[in-house]
């Protein structure tokens, strides 16, 4: 059974950006208009400007041939997320739907 696009995106971005799940995390949402809204908290963004972070993430999506238009891209280091009081979404266990 093929995976859903959000699950595929989550795996792709996790493999690239999430090294320490205790302090790094991501949230993937595709809007009803088809825009990719993404929040990534990762130490990989340390010492990178916001435009550099966005360029990295968009290049990863392009190389993976994922054709979604970017919506909100919120890309932080764990320290920035903490200072902005941004926390990970509650854990939701995805159960595949079989038809």
Q: Is residue 63 one of the residues assigned to a domain? A: yes
Nearest to 43 by CA among 29, 63, 23, 28: 23
pLDDT tens profile 57-71: 999 999 988 888 999
Distances (CA, A) of 28 to 38, 84, 86, 89, 98: 5, 19, 15, 10, 22
pLDDT attached to residue 67: 80
pLDDT of residue 1: 34
Work out how many domains the chain is built from and give that number. Answer: 1
The answer to whether position 79 is within a domain reads: yes
pTM reported for the whole predicted model: 0.84
Is residue 10 a part of any domain in this protein? yes
Q: How many helices (H) and strands (E) does the chain have?
A: 3, 3
Domain with 73, as residue range(s), is: 5-35+45-83
């Amino acid at each position: 059974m093929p995976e859903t696009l959000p699950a595929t995106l989550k795996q792709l971005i996790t493999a690239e950006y999430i090294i320490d799940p205790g302090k790094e995390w991501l949230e993937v949402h595709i809007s009803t208009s088809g825009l990719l809204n993404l929040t990534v908290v990762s130490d990989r963004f340390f010492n990178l400007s916001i435009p550099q972070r966005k360029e990295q993430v968009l290049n990863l999506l392009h190389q993976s041939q994922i054709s979604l238009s970017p919506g909100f891209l919120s890309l932080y280091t764990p320290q920035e997320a903490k200072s902005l009081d941004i926390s990970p979404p509650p854990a939701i266990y995805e159960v595949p739907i079989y038809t």
